[in-house]
Amino acid sequence: MKLGAVIITMGTRPAELQDLLDSVAKQQGPDVEVAVVGNGSPLPPLSGDVRTVELPENLGIPGGRNVGVGLFGPGGSQVEAVMFLDDDGLLPSEETAEHVRAAFEADPRLGIISFRIVDPATGTTQRRHVPRLGDSDPLRSSRVTSFLGGACAVRTRVFRQVGPLPDAFFYAHEETDLAWRALDAGWHIEYRADLVLHHPATSPARHAVYHRLVARNRVWLARRNLPWLLVPVYLGVWFALTLVRRPSGKALRAWLGGFWEGLTTPCGKRHPMRWRTVWRLTRLGRPPII
């Protein structure tokens, strides 16, 4: 299986980026093709055989990753699967790529693999990095309904069948949008605890636009993918959960602004999932109302 890796960067972590590239180059088995996208910034000098592009503006996380996939041909056609890796991450094992290949080859309907993210300083995995409801055990592998965008592998046939990540989302929920479309098309998603990416623990709220985009994209996600009957239920549940979490006044105002933006602006083409997929998500432990 021909495997690629896409890394987007804003040029602010050149040392970490080179360490990541070195860890990819050390992977056992056939060489992993690498594409690095300067997302609105010039790239630092990079060693190794790397495909690169410097974008004149920041297209956001999904937009930048879509450009990276395109460096492997339309829909990533020159490779059979692509790993998305955060530029400050690191593959601590030299066997990760071989395990990814083996997983995809063993299950022809496996479309996406989500890695376990581990803070190298503490050895812990943040709860938000385990894509399951309720069960927070990071060491248990299972089928899931979403994946971690900066530590994953996606079969490129998924992109060619259901389309790319949603560019307009810019940041937040783009993985769930792709995951729901992939599941509706009959693909499986697995969280693999044995596939590890080292990544320092962070808070998503560090991004200035976090609260607005999380709310806006949550609404777009529902409008794009859910049967109309579930849209108000899904959004009502998340509205209530946000209030229960008691964000600060500034954060709540940004969240409400984003929620309204999601309701009043175009969300892109609508592809409502089948009720069979709703039931499948429910059986996997995450009904699409939460």
Residue 219 inside a domain? The answer is yes
- The number of residues in the chain equals 290
Q: Specify whether 10 is located in the same domain as 148.
A: yes
Q: Specify whether 80 is located in the same domain as 193.
A: yes
Q: HSE of 207 in the Cβ direction (CA atoms, 13 Å)? A: 12
Residue 48 inside a domain? The answer is yes
End-of-domain residue from the set 175, 202, 229: 202
Say how many C-beta atoms besides its own lie within 10 A of residue 286's C-beta: 17
Q: Rg for the chain (alpha carbons), in Å?
A: 18
Residue 176 has pLDDT above 70, yes or no: yes
What pLDDT digit, counting tens, does each position of 69-88 carry? 999 999 999 999 999 999 99
The per-residue pLDDT for 208 is 60
What pLDDT digit, counting tens, does each position of 139-171 carry? 999 999 999 999 999 999 999 999 999 999 999
End-of-domain residue from the set 174, 202, 230: 202
pTM, full prediction: 0.96
Which residues constitute the domain of residue 109? 3-202
- CATH number of the domain bearing residue 121: 3.90.550.10
What pLDDT digit, counting tens, does each position of 24-62 carry? 999 999 999 999 999 999 999 998 899 999 999 999 999
Q: Specify whether 113 is located in the same domain as 249.
A: no
Residue 63 inside a domain? The answer is yes
CB 130 within 8 A of CB 160: no
- Report how many domains make up the chain: 2
Q: Specify whether 108 is located in the same domain as 236.
A: no
Residue 258: which region, alpha, beta or left (left: phi > 0; alpha: psi -120 to 50)?
A: alpha
